[in-house]
Amino acid sequence: MGRIAIIAGQGSLPQALVRSLPDTPIVAHLEGFAPQGVDVALTSFRIERLAPFMAHLHDQNVDRIIFAGAVQRPRLDPEQFDPQTAMMVPRMLAAMQQGDDATLREVIAIFEEDGFQILAADAVAPDLVSGPGVLGIHQPSQQDRDDARRAVAIVGALGAVDVGQGAVVARGLCLAVEALPGTDAMLGQVAALGSLKPQRAGLLYKAPKPGQDRRIDLPALGPATVQNAAAAGLAGIAFQAGGVLLLDRMTMIDEADRAGIFLWAREAE
């Protein structure tokens, strides 16, 4: 069996996967989107040179790939395209016009057609996802459970049109939804409202999009998410059990316990 390569974006997920793998992987990233804290050598590449990059991976005996971490759509330079990659441009542009999910599916298809197996992050690091239940000492109230049901419906609707994977709901009202700026920006908007202080209320809910290919772009939560949810005045964080990556779970639990908010892995309906 060959080697594993991690196509890494920003955030702490790539390093979590490096720690979980028995053998040192190749870690590559798009120029301008280097991962943080990765303690192995990094290789950068450009979309315009995708075909030579895949050939390089084959030369390194790579046969399995994990996509991990956040990236934004890079600005493409037409002068940088090699002839083989240029032949992929029409299908990539068509996918980009359909949204992020379609783009990611097309990326997977391109790598699979070149002979690579695409692995889900939780397939190689199952501890990154949680089964159903409350993590930590604080429990969601009945109002929180009602808010979670409302948030599930909202996130499902967002995902169906390929917009986002999260929403904030308090007392049945949707205060914010996740879009391109991401979860932290959404929580910052809620904090700026100031309506949830001094008494905590509401929750952040995260889940994969309906029908999402789980091998790429699973939603993730980390200690910073807990801190930002607490700063926004929320009562807690709920997420789909088995469908959300938890980065540094023990620190998340410690932060939530200290802040007085709950972490709830909610069973999918």
Sorted by where each begins, the domain ranges of the chain are 3-124, 129-266
Residue 191 parent element (H or E)? helix 183-193
Mean pLDDT of 97-116: 86
Which CATH code of 1.10.287.980, 3.20.20.10, 3.40.140.80, 3.90.190.20 fits the domain covering 129-266?
3.40.140.80
Could you tell me if 133 and 250 are in contact, meaning their C-beta atoms sit under 8 angstroms apart? no
Residue 250 parent element (H or E)? helix 249-259
pLDDT tens digit sequence for 149-198: 999 999 999 988 878 899 999 999 999 999 878 899 999 999 998 777 67
pTM for the whole structure = 0.88
52 pLDDT exceeds 90?
Answer: yes
Task: Say what the pLDDT of residue 268 is.
Answer: 85
Q: Are strands 26-30 and 203-206 parallel, antiparallel or unpaired?
A: unpaired
249 pLDDT exceeds 90?
Answer: yes
Query: The domain at 3-124 falls in which architecture?
Result: 3-Layer(aba) Sandwich (3.40)
pLDDT tens digit sequence for 74-105: 788 888 889 999 898 888 888 777 777 778 88
Cβ atoms within 10 Å, residue 49: 17
